Each structure stands twice: as structure tokens, then as C-alpha cells.
Structure 1
Amino acid sequence: MPISTRMSRREAISTFANGFGVLGLAGLLDAEARADGGKANPLAVKLPMHAARAKRVIFLFMSGGPSHVDTFDPKPMLARDNGKPLPFAMPHLVRTKTGNLLQSPFKFRKHGQSGTEVSELFPNVAACVDDICVIRSMVADNINHNGACLQMNTGEQAFSRPSLGSWLLYGLGSENQDLPGYLVISPAQPAQGAPLWTSSFLPAAYQGTLVADLKNPIANLANPRISLDRQRDQLDTLRMLNERHLQSRQEDSQLSARISSFELAYRMQRQAPETFDVSRESPATRALYGLDDPTTGIFATQCLMARRLSERGVRFVQVYHTQTAKRASCQLWDQHGGLKTELPNNCAATDQPIAALLKDLKGRGLLEDTLVIWGGEFGRTPTAEGTDGREHHPFGFTMWLAGGGIKGGMTYGATDEYGWHAVENKVHVHDLHATILHLMGIDHTKLTYRYSGRDYRLTDVFGNVVKPILA
């Protein structure tokens, strides 16, 4: 018997609110819903503007800012002049008042047919360098975590702006209508939190869905009281009631968002439990990622979830490294001290899972159209903070990309001989964003959204596609 003959509208909504607790995570209850009465599906697949090289993105975000001169940017001059003053003036900023030059305590050597030099801290990733393009000339505009993280994720340093993942969903939709199109996997939330994956003034359907509990990724997926078929009957009735209510109002964007979110929540009950269940993986895959190793287990779970989501058509997955077996922190890679101990710990926790993700994607034929990005909000100074630390450094740092139309086995750009300034082929954050959009089939100058009297875009009025790194 339909619930409309037994329940009031208020009772029906209460029932669904309890049965679909996933709604808040789906990011669809915000008042900034699509202004079309909920009739169109905002996540429907849209054609790219030009031929796309990548269909999906996995962004491995090392929160805190990994040291480039200790990982992917070797500097022999640091060793030669260790302990001496930097031979040129530092910028006049409080955060650059560090000491003398500090050599890397870690050895570099060449790997692969490309001969790319990688630190001993990343032996497994080093084995994949022929699939990787290392950009050694990244620059950003903010020297503090909050502003730099905002810029790397949204293109803007201070104000709320739509995130990279939100822009991609807005421009392309999602290939899987039974899961959120934008997932953020972060056991310990970064200090900046939701502003890093917000949809801001874009419709709320495009914001990221946070997965913080790796053992229970999305709460309230199962309804122990009634069957899925019964929920379908209830949902149909609730939709009818809500649409009648909507017809009597000029526009209620919050109600439109609720209608859509109930539908997504129902569909997620069927697919999400299987998608997030990494226990279904074979013993060989578990060993590849280091899933059962206490050192690598947490990040291995995150990377394996990212692969499972990506192969199911989720458009954008961002994996934050914010927790290890011994320590949880908003900025694990923020080595103001403990460089010789904490940086190796972070690399040990992530090296095997990252390499496994690249190998797994490649083995499944997914790497060619999956863009994998590694990096943080900035790098670290080549000069010492105290005796065993490095300060924040946005003037020249390293990120790397693989798959999805990227030319592997190459390095691009360079910092000076000490690793301070990017001096060759600078790549600004806006250029990185423009390149990501280009690989996904989007012209960054044409993906705009009208808000508050002007057209906005991810790259604002900046950004150039870095064409030499494209395959």
C-alpha cells in the first residue's frame, strides 16, 4: 500500500531523513541547487569541448608541503655549500627568515630508461618514473598553508571559490550516476576543511563528498527496517508530494536539491557498499598496495578506494595524506623540524601505495585515460629552520603527473642550483589547472559560470596549458 494513504507529508519526510542519512555527505542539501526545478540531472554526462585525453582524475595531495630538494629535485650544490649562507637575498617575508643552506640527508640516483633522479625515500615510485612527468618548476602565490591550499584546490587564495573537482563535474558531469562524482578521501581533515572541496557558488550537486572513516566510508547506507523495494515505493510517493509542493512555489532550490539527493542516496545504497569494500580485492592486490602492513595500510586503503571509484566512472577523486599508523595531522608533510625522521616516515607510508596505484591502473588499462597528480600546496626551503627542518616555500617546488595524456619519463622546468627559485619553464598553479582541464577536454578560458554580475572561471584571467608535457 502506498505510504500516501497512511502517512502525512511530514511523517514521510521524517522517515526518509532517517533512512537516508547519506544525504549530507552527498552534498546536495545546500540551498544553491540547480535553478531548473530539479528536472534536469546536474551530473549527467556532458560532451567535452575538444577531444579529451583523460576521463577522470586522482589527485594525491600531500598535505603540508613536501620538500622538493629531498624527494624529486636533487641539488648537489646544497651538499657542496652545506652550512653556508644562501648566496643571494631571500624575499623579505617573515616565513623566509631561515638559517644557512641545509643539504639533503637523502641520496638521489637515476631510474628507468629516462634516467630521472629520485630520492632514496621513494624507491617504489622511482620504479615507475618512465610513466611520470616530474615538474620541478612549480610556483604558487601564498606562503601559508591556508592560502596555498585554497589556491591549489580552488585557484583562489582568500575567498570561497569552486574547487577543481567541482569545476570538472560542472563541465563534464559524471559517468556513474549511482555514486557521487567527486569524492575526497581524508581520514584526518586538512585544517582548511570543506572549503578545499566546496562547490561555492556553483550548484551544490558539484561539491565533494568527504570520506573520513575508512571502515565505514558513508554512514547510513543500509536501512535495517525496510527493503530497497519498499524504499523505492516510499521515494516515489515522496517525489510526488514534493513536486506538488514545488508547483505551488516560484522556485525553491533547496527543495529541488532534496528531491535529487533522495534519488542519489537510494542508488548509492545499491552500489556504494561494494565499491568501498576493499576486502573484495585479491591477496595479490592487497600485497601490491601494502594493505595489511601497519606502515602503509591507511594510505593503501585510500589509494585502493581511489582506484575502485575511478574504474567505476567517478570523475574526480582526491586522496589526502593526513594520517599514518603512528600519527594523525592536518599537515603531515610540514617538516619545520624532524626532517630526518618524519619525512622518511611519510614517504614509507605512501611510496608503496602510490606505486601500486600507478601499476594497478596501468595493468587494468586505466592509466591511459586516468590523470594521476602528486604534490602538496608548496615545497620547503633549501635553507634550514633550526637544525633539522625546512620552512614553507612557494617560490619553486615539485609536483608530478602520470597517465591521462601526460608524456612520461621526463622532467620539466628547473629551480636554481640551490632549489630556491623556479628559473626555467615556470609552471604556476593556474597553468597546472589549465593543463588539467585541457587534458579532460575543456578549454579553461571557456568554462565559466555567471555569478554576482560577472563570469568566473577556475583560472580567473590567468593560466596557460603546459603543452610540452602532453603526450
Structure 2
Amino acid sequence: MKDKDFAEQVSQGLNRREFLKGSVLGLGAAALGSLLNANSVFGRGNATGLEALQSELPHFVPKAKRVIYLFQSGAPSQLELFDYKPKLREMFGQELPPSVRGNQRLTGMSSGQRSFPLAFGKFEFQQYGKSRAWISDLLPYHRQIVDEVCFIKSMHTEAINHDPAVTFVQTGSQQAGRPSFGSWVSYGLGSDNENLPTFCVLLSKGREGDQPLYAKLWSNGFLPSEHQGVMFRSGKDPVLYLNDPHGIDKTSRRRMLDYLAKLHQQQYEHVLDPEINSRVSQYEMAYRMQTSVPETMDISKEPDYIYDMYGPDSRKPGTFAANCLLARRLAERDVKFVQLYHQGWDQHGNLPNDIKIMAKSVDQASAALVKDLKQRGLLEDTLVIWGGEFGRTNYSQGKLTPEDFGRDHHPRSFTIWMAGAGIKPGFTYGETDELGYNVVKDPVHVHDFQATIMHMLGIDHEKLIFKHQGRRYRLTDVAGKVVKEILV
């Protein structure tokens, strides 16, 4: 088209017929957008500044629509559960060779030890499934899902104590104050269910006297507060302060929120603080949750065969089994990120007895969750993760007998498993040495693990960024690579 002709067309504008003919697709898209969840379809919607420079989310077609993270707080011993090392039995009681340990930093609990005798529990291992995965006899129900899961036996981290290690795997930093994994996902992808939080948290204990957990682990950090995790509790009030006070009905609550929103809007126009809008969003979410949460948390109508699948503890609110069942219900309702924390795995002494208690508390329900998701067609787009913050040493902390010994913290190697949503089923990745101390093949760092999960959700971990106090932050900080070998 000549420049003159183009100029004339622009100057004359469009007549009514040309306008309707040329804009029909745009009008259709606008109508579709009004019917769909804007947060889910358009990501952060009103992004400005640095956010507007980022690619539209998701960055590519995701394999996973949601995540269920079964976090085993306290660090389960990989050597008693998944990472079978017969050499340890052969060398029971012998000194760990200094060449193997090297100059590794030790915790204050074993740095004063003069000897490091190798320990092996009395538990047996066998291979199961078509994948021939090694499973301890502590986990009889895991035998049923070995061909659904991918074991990563080469995880490693820098953190050597519980609090920084848990904080690291959950937020990407050993220091408190960063946004949690679920908050980053909420910020990047929005919600698929406007009546439930995008990021839900459930807590349980396998035994008393273990490491505490803090709300910083599901905090939004410097992200807008609407992205913080919402902790669901067992009992009459699953979410604190959700119910209306005595004498306040639904109509009164709605009128109050409408007037409160007007006041907040005036304040926002005055100070331009986006946290004001986040607070209004939280008020509105709480209002909608008054109906959705009780219905979601009521598991009384689940059929008996489901309770039988998850085990007898699934009928007891607040247990790991009951929380796994709730996680499936939340997944059915398209909650984006469900985080379970199960405490009790810190076994510096009396490990052979205590690990029996812990394994029994999680084995049946963990396997049931995978099977239940699969039978409902949800496993194909739900990522299930199982694992702790680091591993346990191959040497004993303190006294050593086959019936009584402990293991110290071990950041150099540990095992997790993942299932569903594009993860290679029946696959084992990574390897440790014959004594289970150092990774010798395909190491996976915590940031690699985080980058891979983000990738499965359709997020390029290097592009999901938030600028805070002059610095650009991301979940994986300045590291991390996607472990493509474990993906289908």
C-alpha cells in the first residue's frame, strides 16, 4: 500500500460496517474473558513496571495445573527408606573413611565426636514393580506406587541445620523474609477457584518433640499479602476469624464490606499503596470462603472405600492421612498449591524405633493420594512431591547398636520422590556412592528442584521476578536449572 493511500485511509477512519467486521474477534475475546477467571487467564492482569516487561504467564504450556507438596519436616533418613546400601551392613560399626567425609562441615551435635561408626538398620529392602525400585519394608504401601513415581536420589543443599534448610527449600533462601514457593506460584499464575485460596497449608505430627514450624514458611514475604498461604486447621474453625461475629448476618457483612471497599479506594487514591487493594481482596476472599471452606473441609460424606484406602487415621482430623484426603479435595477444586507439613522426622537417637512410627504415619496415605488422584483423572495434571529438607548421615550419632542409634543432619545427599503431571513414572534419577554419603551421578540442587517444578507449571523461573528494595528477586535466586531428564 502506498504511503498516500494509507494516510487517506487513516484520516477517513473506519465506517460502522468496517469496524464491526474487523473487530468481531476482539469482541469475542472480550466476551470470553468476562466469562473466565481473569486471574487465571490473564495472570497478574494489571501488571505495571517490571511486571509488564515479563512474558505473559504461563510462559509455555504447563504439564501441571496444581501442586501437592507432602513435606516431611525433620528430614527422613533416606538410608532406611529408599537409598539401599548393602555396603553399610557389611561395614557396620567400622569407621567412615576420612576420604569419604572430606572437609564437610558438621553440626554442633556431632562435631565433637572422635569416631564416626557406620550404621545400618535392621530393616530389609526389596525391589518392586516393573521399575525394580528399592523400597524398605518400612513402606509396604509405597510398593504399590513405585511405577508411578520418580525417585531423585541425588538431592543436595548447603544448609546443615533444620530452620535454614526448611526455609531454603521452601523459599529459595536460608534467611527468613523471602516469599514461599506457593506464594510465588500464586503471584505468577493467579487462581483457578475464586472461592478458595490459591495457596493452602495443612499441618500434622507423627510424634511429639520435633522441630517447630513457623508461619514464615508460607509467608508472602515482599509479595502482595493476598499471595500468602492460608493455614487450614482441624476442628470447628478451619480458618481463624472466618466466621461472622454473633449478631452479624450475611447481608450486614456484605454491606460492611462494600462500604469498607469505598473507604479503602479513597485511601488508595490518596497514598497509592497497592497493599490497600490486596487487603480488600483478602476481605472479599474471606467472605466467599465462609461458604466454600466448610463444604471443602467436610469429609464426612466420603465413601467408606476412600477411608479404607487412606487408612484408619483418615477419619481423625489433623492427621497426615486426613490432610492427604483434604489435599485431594482441594485439588479437585483447583487449588493451585497445597502444602502439607508433617513433623516428627528428626531422629538423632532411637532411630530404629522412631522411624517405624513416622513411616507408618505417612506410608498408606501417601500411596493412597497418588492412587486416588489417578483414579479420578487428576494425576495427569497434578504434581505430587514427597521429601524433607536434607538427609541423614550414614554414621551414627552417639551410641551404636542395631537396635539403637541415631543419624545427624546430612546436606550432601538425600532422596525425594515426585509423581504425576509429566514426571517420568517408574524412574530413578541420581546416585550416591556405595556408602550413601556423596552424590556421584546427576546431582540435583535445591534450586534445580525449584526450577523444575516451576517449569512444570509453565513458568520460566528466570522470568518470574519481583523488584524489591532495588533488587530483582526470584524463587531460585541466581541459580537453578531445569532437570529435563526426569520429565516425559
Indicate if the aligned counterparts of 2:299 and 2:326 stay in contact, CA closer than 8 A. yes
**Corresponding residue number in structure 2 for 1:228:** 250
Q: Aligned pair 1:193/2:210, yes or no?
A: no
**Corresponding residue number in structure 1 for 2:183:** 166
User: How big is the shift at 1:245?
Assistant: 4.2
**Corresponding residue number in structure 1 for 2:386:** 374
- Measured at CA, do residues 438 and 107 of structure 1 come closer, stay the same or move farther in structure 2, by a change above 3 Å? same
TM-score normalised by the chain length of structure 2: 0.82
**Corresponding residue number in structure 2 for 1:303:** 324
The residue type equivalent to 1:242 in the other structure is: H
* Matched position secondary structure for 1:200: coil
The residue type equivalent to 2:389 in the other structure is: E
- Measured at CA, do residues 206 and 320 of structure 1 come closer, stay the same or move farther in structure 2, by a change above 3 Å? same
* Matched position secondary structure for 1:348: helix
* Matched position secondary structure for 2:271: coil
1:57 to 67, 80, 89: 67
**Corresponding residue number in structure 2 for 1:325:** none
Counterpart-to-counterpart distance in 2, 1:212 and 1:187 = 10
The residue type equivalent to 2:419 in the other structure is: A
* Larger displacement relative to structure 2 (309-318 or 219-228): 219-228
Counterpart-to-counterpart distance in 1, 2:287 and 2:482 = 40
1:239 to 261, 271, 290: 261
**Corresponding residue number in structure 1 for 2:356:** 344
User: How big is the shift at 1:237?
Assistant: 2.8
TM-score normalised by the chain length of structure 1: 0.85
Q: Aligned pair 1:264/2:274, yes or no?
A: no
User: How big is the shift at 1:385?
Assistant: 1.0
Q: Deviations over 1:370-399 (max 9, x none)?
A: 000000000100111122110000101101
Q: Deviations over 1:180-220 (max 9, x none)?
A: 11111114696350221111111111111122435532134
- Measured at CA, do residues 100 and 468 of structure 1 come closer, stay the same or move farther in structure 2, by a change above 3 Å? same
* Matched position secondary structure for 2:395: coil
Q: Aligned pair 1:138/2:155, yes or no?
A: yes
Indicate if the aligned counterparts of 2:204 and 2:318 stay in contact, CA closer than 8 A. no
Structure 2 residues without counterparts, runs of 5 or longer = 1-43, 48-55
**Corresponding residue number in structure 1 for 2:439:** 422
Query: 1:27-426 alignment to 2 at 5 Å?
Result: 47-89=57-99, 90=101, 91-95=103-107, 97=111, 99-187=116-204, 191-214=212-235, 216-223=237-244, 224-247=246-269, 249-292=270-313, 298-322=319-343, 332-386=344-398, 387=400, 388-426=405-443
Indicate if the aligned counterparts of 1:367 and 1:403 stay in contact, CA closer than 8 A. yes
* Matched position secondary structure for 2:98: coil
- Measured at CA, do residues 381 and 107 of structure 1 come closer, stay the same or move farther in structure 2, by a change above 3 Å? same
Counterpart-to-counterpart distance in 1, 2:353 and 2:416 = 22
Counterpart-to-counterpart distance in 1, 2:177 and 2:272 = 25
Counterpart-to-counterpart distance in 1, 2:248 and 2:347 = 51
User: How big is the shift at 1:294?
Assistant: 8.4
Counterpart-to-counterpart distance in 2, 1:216 and 1:82 = 50
Larger Cα Rg: Structure 1 or Structure 2? 2
* Matched position secondary structure for 1:383: strand
Identity %, equivalent residues: 46
Counterpart-to-counterpart distance in 1, 2:97 and 2:373 = 44
